[in-house]
Structure 1
Amino acid sequence: MLAVLLAVLDYSVVNVALPALSQALKATSAASIWVVNAYQIASCTMLLPAGALAQRWGARRICLTGLGVLIAGSVGCAAARDITMLAAARIVQGLGGAAILSVSADLFRRLYPPAAIGRALALSSMTASIAVAIGPSVAAVVLHVMSWRGLFLFNIPLGLVAFGLGWRFLPRASGLASARLDLRAVILNALAFGGVLLGGDWLAHGGNRAGGLCLLAAGCAALAAFVTVERRREHPMLPLDLLGRPAFSIAALTCAMGYLAANFFMVSIPFALTRDAGRSVEEGGLLLTGWPVGIVLIAQVAGRLSDRLSASVVSSCGLGIVGAAYSMTAFIRPESSDFSILARFLLAGIGFGLFVSPNNRALMLAAPHARSAGASALLSLARLLGQTCGAMATAFVFARVAQDRTTVCLLAGAGTAWVAAVLSAGRAWLPAAALPIGRS
């Protein structure tokens, strides 16, 4: 869990520090955005290759290697003298974080018996969700007591502790010797996700439209070639065999949509609190703690429910609650009491906690045990793509909508959550042969 916390926290702490980074390194705002983009793109492009390597070498080795790379990247970030060096070190961090996240669910599946897998994944999901939610607060505290380099220095001792614990306790499992990594597929994977994410980000932030469309087209072409190449392989990096299973593909799409909705909320809510509700940055940060508190309060309950009830029930109810909370939050005003705002955030966190664990369990159990590494990598990829697309969509709304931007974003998040709830509920009508082990 400590490794997952570090991998996700590295993604979420930097946004708040961008003004301090750009000022200290004498970089433009546009250049400083690459400190965030470098980590996201590196993570997205590495998740599937890391999952494939875990299939061959074992999840334990990939997790420990990822921790080592993450620590090395943190050292590089802390020592960076300009924005280019920092972005390069963030790429290294992103590669390490992706290696950790690609095998986290696989390791939990190996550590816990099937009857307790829901509770195990609830702990993992709670850790990742809290890391996203507390990232801005952690960054604010660190920047208050030291320079921006402290954001990366604190990774080093925690990473070393996580490495030592992993070396001692993570289960050893032999990989599949025949599962070789195809360099051509790795390159196409990088071109596909890099092109799509760069093109989408360019268009979302009001960049050159022709350039953004060209990048998107190139990314889509590379993705088509990637899928064609993977279909011919016995052990594909992209788990097309798993995506062909309805229970797995519905869980993956529900995951992506749930995190897309969450980032509509997480990216726009600081503006809603300061501009619409008239709160200071400090007051907004305190109120926003309702989100992670709600996730913590419901985590173990959600884990137990996911081991007893279908994800089509529990996850769908959670997403319905999330949508209701987001829609109520869209209409906060200066006269709204702190208690009413906090209650909405608490409700959103409870709903999100109910959604994540049962859905993750359904996804992992929809895959054969021998394909756990690929399933774990695709789960992390769905989450990260949802987060990235949510951030892009929010940026697009802020760039194109003249008034009530935060209201539009929060209502869009609510609508996305409700659509995901309907999709999740559709699992109840899958034939028994399409369901995972146990219930989905």
Structure 2
Amino acid sequence: MTDTVLTRGGIAKAAAQAPADGLPAARRRWAMLALMTGVSMASLDTAIANTALPELARQLHAGAAASVWIVNIYQLAMVATLLPCAALGERVGYRRVATAGLALFTVASLLCALAWNLPLLVGARLLQGLGAAALMGVTTAMMRAIYPAHLQGQGFGLNALVVAVAFAVGPTLASLILALASWPWLFAINVPIGAAAFVLARRVLPDNARGKHGFDTGAALCNVGAFGFLILLLGDAAHGVSPARLGLEAVATAACFALLLRRQRGHAAPILPTDLLARPLFALSALTAVCTFAVQSLAFVALPFHFEQVLGRSPVETGFLLTPWPVLVGIMGPISGRLSDRHESGLLAGIGLLVLCAGMAALLWMPEAPSTFAIAWRMAVCGIGFGLFQAPNMKAIMGSAPRERAGGASGIVATARLTGQAGGAALVAGCLVLSERHGTTYALAAAAGIALLGACISFARLHPRTRG
């Protein structure tokens, strides 16, 4: 078997299949650099677009409601295509899908920068979302090929660190770019970085054994429809659109899921991995992830409203008050990753969710005029709990799937995260529709309750029956 050789002159190209015990240490570092560069760009683009949305709407002469599609279409494209991209990775190779995703994301970033009106920018963002889905859909499967089994927790911890840092610096980076340059540079900055990551990824990412099953295009289209309509339904339900429209979206969602399940019945590697979800440990781990990312979304959507409208803080203060959470997630990511290599994932994740629940309850029961420190330590507690959960849970999902189904498991990791985030955001909107004055309080209470539910689900994984 050939391998990548690191020399003073550079990296000798090799597309060797990854050994069962992972890559050599030197090549592992280069592979993770390429992979995490792509992950950081995909994560940053969500935070950057959210922060810059008012400025984008102003410069493109677009209304607020229409400009929201700059953010929505990116997330919609990602959620709808993650599982098909993961399934394609099993069929043609994770390396091919990851590098194709990097290439598409980079080209789409250039198209975003060159767009001169809202429809063109939305179309380019759709392509960006597809590229991000291809990359994120196979990321955790790639890490399983890069790291040996006894070090995989470290890889998942590094992934948690990169996502947390991107989430933390995204708003600041967007503000800095807009202060120094025009809005196209929000996307143009990805082009040289993405091109470099693509070249490196082509040289150092390992290949994997290909699945013998075919790729079902019809099932992939059903999956796109099912998750696309589901996300639309959640958003529209929260914003109180007409019952007739909600009914149509609900029927379309149910019909697409029914067609998907019927079409992939008996398939050796279904796009919606029902074979993996039939495993109790895998299903409980995925459900825990949905709950936890719903809590994160509830907090990060509701707290800015709470800080500014209830506590009277300025937008700048709000940005600083939110920072302790992602900072502590970044610190805890590598720590929890190493712990997960030695301790039960269900136990570590359950403890993390109990800490997260305590932090959300502390935020809910803040005094009427809390000090900056009083808010900051509560956010830090939430970050510690979330950071303790993330890497062990990711390892539990990947470890409970057969190696040949790592693509399907990887797709579920990303789909659970984005579905939970979409559900959490919809819950906040619903709480605000229910009561504009107390909506944020209801949202924080819901977040604490969901975190407690997630802890119970996580601890259920410790029961011997879940190993079956």
* CA drift at 1:269: 1.4
Note the residue ranges of structure 2 that are not aligned, 5 or more in a row. 1-35
Question: What CA distance in whole angstroms lies between the structure 1 residues aligned with 2:213 and 2:433?
Answer: 45
* CA drift at 1:337: 1.5
Question: What CA distance in whole angstroms lies between the structure 2 residues aligned with 1:136 and 1:333?
Answer: 28
Question: Partner of 2:270: helix, strand, or coil?
Answer: coil
Deviates more, 1:145-154 or 1:58-67: 145-154
On the 8 A contact 2:160/2:330 being kept in 1, the answer is no
Question: Partner of 2:267: helix, strand, or coil?
Answer: coil
Question: What CA distance in whole angstroms lies between the structure 2 residues aligned with 1:432 and 1:283?
Answer: 45
* CA drift at 1:114: 0.6
Q: 2:457 aligns with which of 409, 423, 434?
A: 423
Aligned to 1:204: 238
- Counting only pairs closer than 5 Å after superposition, residues 39-438 of structure 1 correspond to structure 2 as 39-176=74-211, 178-332=212-366, 335-431=369-465, 433-434=467-468
Question: What CA distance in whole angstroms lies between the structure 2 residues aligned with 1:133 and 1:412?
Answer: 24
* CA drift at 1:333: 5.3
> When the two structures are superposed, what TM-score results if normalisation uses the length of structure 1?
0.95
2:59 aligned with 1:24? yes
Aligned to 1:438: none
Question: What CA distance in whole angstroms lies between the structure 2 residues aligned with 1:195 and 1:433?
Answer: 34
Question: What CA distance in whole angstroms lies between the structure 1 residues aligned with 2:441 and 2:179?
Answer: 31
Question: What CA distance in whole angstroms lies between the structure 1 residues aligned with 2:183 and 2:120?
Answer: 15
* CA drift at 1:429: 1.1
Among all aligned residue pairs of Structure 1 and Structure 2, give the percentage whose two residues are the same amino acid.
Answer: 37
* CA drift at 1:432: 7.0
* 1:395-423 C-alpha deviation (Å, 9 max, x unpaired): 22222223222211111111111100001
2:40 aligned with 1:5? yes
* CA drift at 1:304: 1.6
Question: What CA distance in whole angstroms lies between the structure 1 residues aligned with 2:322 and 2:267?
Answer: 47
Question: Partner of 1:231: helix, strand, or coil?
Answer: coil
Deviates more, 1:44-53 or 1:228-237: 228-237
Question: What CA distance in whole angstroms lies between the structure 2 residues aligned with 1:122 and 1:270?
Answer: 28
Question: What CA distance in whole angstroms lies between the structure 2 residues aligned with 1:146 and 1:332?
Answer: 40
The amino acid that maps onto 1:409 is A
On the 8 A contact 1:278/1:333 being kept in 2, the answer is no
On the 8 A contact 1:276/1:333 being kept in 2, the answer is no
Question: What CA distance in whole angstroms lies between the structure 2 residues aligned with 1:2 and 1:399?
Answer: 39
* CA drift at 1:124: 0.8
On the 8 A contact 2:280/2:466 being kept in 1, the answer is no
On the 8 A contact 1:35/1:86 being kept in 2, the answer is yes
> When the two structures are superposed, what TM-score results if normalisation uses the length of structure 2?
0.89
Question: Partner of 2:103: helix, strand, or coil?
Answer: helix
Question: Partner of 1:180: helix, strand, or coil?
Answer: coil
On the 8 A contact 1:204/1:392 being kept in 2, the answer is yes
Cα RMSD (Å): 1.5
Note the residue ranges of structure 1 that are not aligned, 5 or more in a row. 435-440
Aligned to 2:50: 15
Question: Partner of 1:171: helix, strand, or coil?
Answer: coil
On the 8 A contact 1:44/1:98 being kept in 2, the answer is yes
Question: Partner of 1:13: helix, strand, or coil?
Answer: helix
Question: What CA distance in whole angstroms lies between the structure 2 residues aligned with 1:245 and 1:234?
Answer: 15
On the 8 A contact 1:202/1:212 being kept in 2, the answer is yes
Structure 1 segments (4+ residues) deviating >4 Å: none
* CA drift at 1:80: 1.2
Do the aligned partners of residues 357 and 26 (structure 1) sit closer, same or farther apart at CA in structure 2, a change above 3 Å counting? same
Deviates more, 1:304-313 or 1:164-173: 164-173
Aligned residues between the structures: 433
Deviates more, 1:205-214 or 1:318-327: 205-214
Do the aligned partners of residues 279 and 333 (structure 1) sit closer, same or farther apart at CA in structure 2, a change above 3 Å counting? farther
Question: What CA distance in whole angstroms lies between the structure 1 residues aligned with 2:234 and 2:203?
Answer: 42
* CA drift at 1:207: 2.2
Do the aligned partners of residues 55 and 139 (structure 1) sit closer, same or farther apart at CA in structure 2, a change above 3 Å counting? same
On the 8 A contact 1:191/1:222 being kept in 2, the answer is yes
The amino acid that maps onto 1:154 is I
Question: What CA distance in whole angstroms lies between the structure 2 residues aligned with 1:59 and 1:262?
Answer: 29
Question: What CA distance in whole angstroms lies between the structure 2 residues aligned with 1:366 and 1:431?
Answer: 13
